[in-house]
Amino acid sequence: MKILLTGAAGFIGSNLAEALLARGDTVCTVDNFNDFYNPLRKERNIQTASRTAGYTLYRTDIRDFDGLKAIFEKEHPDKICHLAGMANVRYSLKHPLLFEEVNVKGTLNLLELSRMYEVPQFVFASSSSVYGGRPDNGVPFNEDDRVDAPISSYAATKRSAELLAYTYHHLHGLKVTALRFFTVYGPRNRPDMAVSLFTRAIDQGEPIKLFGDGTARRDWTFVADTMRGIMAALDIPLGYEIINLGNGHPQTEMDLIQAAEEALGKKANIHYLERPATEPAVTFADTSKARRLLNFSAEIPLSQGYQQFFEWYAREGRE
């Protein structure tokens, strides 16, 4: 199976590329190596995959329709796995036009090329952020919940991508699976994410900037679990489905901080800040649909997953 994988030098994409290659897939990868964080880290991310048979890299921006078209013309992929995009909620508030260009127009480019080149299946990364600012009432987020009140530009672009993808399913028969990721973490974690920020701050004796009182809960999902869910979605073509990919067992931000303290043998210096309107009180995946359609359940708890993240951090994440 030949898979066109976008965002392949990033945190999730680079891990996924290795897993797909390991099972024998041919992987044509696309990444623009932008400077949202250090491009050298992305170069390191792809070192193993780039030495593996069946791997091809195109240094192309998904906003470049003609550049993407040349790749489709040459490779004729069997399936699309679209992970490229701008992330980080707070960054999206400062750069809404960039987020629209990449997350909406870039996705539309890939959908249109999938139609033109008759690629039958399109799997892509959406986000739990589309659920908006829910109260923490113990009720998990279900795929049938209303998602018409995004609380960030990032969330709005992800919902827009879901809707665009539906039109390509409805009009052109494209099989689409939109995977709503929930707080993914693990080796190669982006440096702007909480797991990285908290760990680095404790390690370097700097204060942690914590929005709220630490009781906000997040559905921490280890990257290996997320990869298994993505591969299941690639292996099981569906009509048009939106599926949560989460752990289903949210834990507090203080739980994460305590895991970092134990791993580092240091205490955190926490600087409490007012929680902004873009920060939900909870993210909590209802995982029943993933179990039913993909036979997928997350297996790795935060305590175990954080230890694997920390081993990577101690080895190369401090750089």
* pLDDT tens-place string over residues 258-290: 999 999 999 999 999 999 999 999 999 999 999
Could you tell me the residue range of the domain that residue 7 belongs to? 2-184+221-246+285-298
- What does pTM read for this prediction? 0.97
Closest CA to 45 of 77, 21, 22, 13: 13
With respect to residue 239, please indicate whether it lies within any of the assigned structural domains: yes
- Mean pLDDT along residues 117-130: 98
Identify whether 117 is part of a domain: yes
Beta-ladder partners of 244 = 180
The pLDDT of residue 274 is: 93
In a domain, 314, yes or no: no
CA dist 131 and 283 (Å) reads 9
Residue 271 falls inside a structural domain = no
- The catalytic residue positions are 154
| Half-sphere exposure for 171 (CA within 13 Å, toward CB) | 11
Note whether residue 265 is domain-resident. Answer: no
Would 214 be classed as within a structural domain?
no
| Number of domains, the chain | 1
Residue 40 within a domain: yes
The rounded mean pLDDT for the chain is 97
* CATH number assigned to the domain comprising residue 97: 3.40.50.720
